Structure 1
Amino acid sequence: MTIELRQLRYAVLTADTRSFSRAATTLNMKQATLSLRVTQLEDQLGIKLFNRTTRGAEPTEMGKVFLESARRIITDVDNLQTTARAVSYGDQGRLAVGYSSSLMAGNLKQTFAEYLTRFPDVQFDGVEAGPEKLLSSLLSRTIDVAVAPTGMEDAGIVSRKVWSDRLMITLLANHKLLGNERIHWSDLRREVFVLPNGGIGQILSNLIAARLTEQGYRPSIIMQDTSLESVLSIVTVGRFVTIATEASQGVTWPDLHFREIHEQGSVARLEFSVYWREDNDNPALQRFFTLINERYPV
């Protein structure tokens, strides 16, 4: 399932105007066409975004959560486009960075923000994908560097550890585990997990399987072709839980609680590394390493 940016724009504008008619007029399209596009988006997500009445379109409770995420995505894309248009294509060059972690908060967001601030004349292109796609992009020189969980290996690719993020179980406000002083992997044995196929979703799925599989039992894991933000929205239904890194706490999610997962006397963490080709001599990449070495010295 692929959700297009224009679908998000349609839904957000409908929410802002509280009307398919007014939103369609703004977009210069037929109301029926707009309504159909939003309905298709709802079908893709498996949730109802709007209550439709003769008075207009009112976002549902689940719709409000999704639309908040959609609005952030649109803003981020618009900001990236503005940055790209304003960039000088001179001596500072271009840097393409792949990543598979949340940009809501945390080390990755801070690193990208500082690079853009310190090197405003570099064209900075971000590419979000899973580790396998990032490795393929490095080998094909589509990207210069990747930030992904530690463990990717291939001939000609070098890496260095940068940081680790705490793993968090995401629970609805009334979940019984919120009463526990600490939550361990064993406490999650009977939960149904939902995870995104992209980003670090598959790595988290493998981790859950490794921690919870035992004789006669395998954990229940549902993989969705959608974003982490949409997965978090689905958790509000109450039938599922999900696992994310601490970076996902950069946004307030109504009715959701993020709790650390404990293992062997400490908090479970996911280590991240930067990866690049040995033969990449891009000056913009060297500036990226300068920043990395300052923020995360070996």
Structure 2
Amino acid sequence: MDFRQLRYALSVARERSFTKAARRLNISQSAVSEQVKLLEQEIGFELFHRGSGGIETTDRGRTFLYESERVMSDLLTLSDTARRLRGALQDTLTIGMGSGMAQIFIPRLFADLKSNLPGVRLEIKTAPTSNIFNELHEERIDAGIAIESDPDRLPAGLVFDRLIDAEMALIAHPKHALARSKPPVDIGRLLAEPFIMSELTVGYGQVVLSLFTDLGIKPNILAVVDNIETIKIIVQSEGGIAIVPRACAENEVALGLLKALAIAPARNVAFSLFRRREPLSRRKEAALLKVRELLKA
């Protein structure tokens, strides 16, 4: 048996489907089935019942896979030990986040990084929500910060832990007529305004679009871009207005580059830390736990 066969079998157990496991592993279903079959032949018993109702783990399979998960974690930890012994003293924890989230979370992470995460090097990747989910799925990052949206849009095999809630706000150029508004801006009265939107099917873009669809109206979408930083620059250039988490625009508002206004109906979004269900090495698990504490602070 080898590491790959155990990974495939554990993925089938979590997804309860060879098809979903193959999709999650980004390989063919036949490759998953073949490797699991070879593993079953080697250990001498079936891991799964394959019936019309789907895939179920056998009693012996459940025990074997439980121990396999523990062994895999130990192997990852052993790999860390070998890296340290050959002089690579730092573990790298790779975290993805949307560009607009940097001003919220980066100060929390780097306030005292050496003391909070000794022996760990952080690698930060900025990407749209859909890319973060793909990077997690393909095991190119260890965790990702993204905005919760429709649970049905969350890829299989990912779990999340809520960090903070944030108010959504309308951002406009300080000279825009809306910038003088005192009461919350009524979303239903903005049909003629050109909106700059983000991804419409996931993350905060899907939350913004739902503001309009809940009212039975269609926004006047001038452009769709994949990151908040570009949205803010377009609004600063008087190219349109947008709705973003207020916390993502605090720096620009403080500098007088943007005006942030409350909206009606009010809407909050939740920033969460997403990760795969599979355990990381023990050192990485400890580092990720500390990162979560820092992000919630």
Deviation at residue 237 of structure 1 after TM alignment: 3.8
Distance 1:181 1:187, change over 3 A: same
Q: Which amino acid aligns with 2:129?
A: P
Is the Cα contact below 8 Å between 1:145 and 1:276 reproduced in 2? yes
Distance 1:227 1:99, change over 3 A: closer
Question: Using the alignment, how far apart are the partners of 1:258 and 1:275 within structure 2?
Answer: 28
Question: Using the alignment, how far apart are the partners of 2:103 and 2:141 within structure 1?
Answer: 23
Aligned to 1:111: 108
Is the Cα contact below 8 Å between 2:91 and 2:120 reproduced in 1? yes
For the pair 1:96 / 2:97, whether they are aligned, the reply is no
Deviation at residue 224 of structure 1 after TM alignment: 4.5
Is the Cα contact below 8 Å between 2:198 and 2:205 reproduced in 1? no
Distance 1:223 1:91, change over 3 A: same
- What secondary structure, in the 3-state scheme, does the structure 2 residue paired with 1:292 have? helix
Deviation at residue 270 of structure 1 after TM alignment: 1.1
Question: Using the alignment, how far apart are the partners of 1:207 and 1:271 within structure 2?
Answer: 10
Deviation at residue 103 of structure 1 after TM alignment: 4.0
* Residue of structure 2 aligned with 1:123, choices 98, 118, 121: 121
Q: TM-score, normalised by structure 2?
A: 0.58
Aligned to 1:139: 137
Distance 1:119 1:256, change over 3 A: same
Moved more, 119-128 or 268-277: 119-128
Is the Cα contact below 8 Å between 2:160 and 2:275 reproduced in 1? yes
Deviation at residue 232 of structure 1 after TM alignment: 2.1
Show CA shifts across 1:264-296 (max 9, x none): xxx421111111122232323422213424663
Distance 1:288 1:221, change over 3 A: same
Aligned to 2:3: none
Distance 1:190 1:95, change over 3 A: same
Between Structure 1 and Structure 2, which shows a larger proportion of helix residues?
A: 2
- What secondary structure, in the 3-state scheme, does the structure 2 residue paired with 1:94 have? strand
Deviating above 6 A after TM superposition, structure 1's stretches of 4 or more consecutive aligned residues are none
- What secondary structure, in the 3-state scheme, does the structure 2 residue paired with 1:280 have? coil
Question: Using the alignment, how far apart are the partners of 2:142 and 2:208 within structure 1?
Answer: 31
For the pair 1:274 / 2:267, whether they are aligned, the reply is no
Q: Highest Rg: 1 or 2? A: 2
Show CA shifts across 1:62-91 (max 9, x none): xxxxxxxxxxxxxxxxxxxxxxxxxx9734
Deviation at residue 102 of structure 1 after TM alignment: 1.6
Distance 1:165 1:140, change over 3 A: same
Counting only pairs closer than 5 Å after superposition, residues 237-256 of structure 1 correspond to structure 2 as 237-245=237-245, 246-251=247-252, 252-256=254-258
Show CA shifts across 1:131-174 (max 9, x none): 22111111211000111112453333221111112212111223
Deviation at residue 184 of structure 1 after TM alignment: 3.3
Q: TM-score, normalised by structure 1?
A: 0.58
Counting only pairs closer than 5 Å after superposition, residues 1-298 of structure 1 correspond to structure 2 as 90-106=88-104, 108-114=105-111, 116-117=113-114, 118-150=116-148, 151=151, 153-177=154-178, 178-196=180-198, 203-213=203-213, 217-225=217-225, 227-245=227-245, 246-251=247-252, 252-263=254-265, 267-282=266-281, 283-293=283-293, 296=296
Question: Using the alignment, how far apart are the partners of 1:296 and 1:165 within structure 2?
Answer: 12
Distance 1:95 1:102, change over 3 A: same
- What secondary structure, in the 3-state scheme, does the structure 1 residue paired with 2:223 have? strand
Question: Using the alignment, how far apart are the partners of 2:130 and 2:193 within structure 1?
Answer: 28
Show CA shifts across 1:172-210 (max 9, x none): 22333322322232243332111355xx99644433332
Is the Cα contact below 8 Å between 2:165 and 2:271 reproduced in 1? yes
Distance 1:216 1:179, change over 3 A: closer
Query: How many residues matched?
Result: 204
Show CA shifts across 1:222-252 (max 9, x none): 3345753333232234341012222221244
Distance 1:97 1:294, change over 3 A: closer
- What secondary structure, in the 3-state scheme, does the structure 2 residue paired with 1:194 have? strand
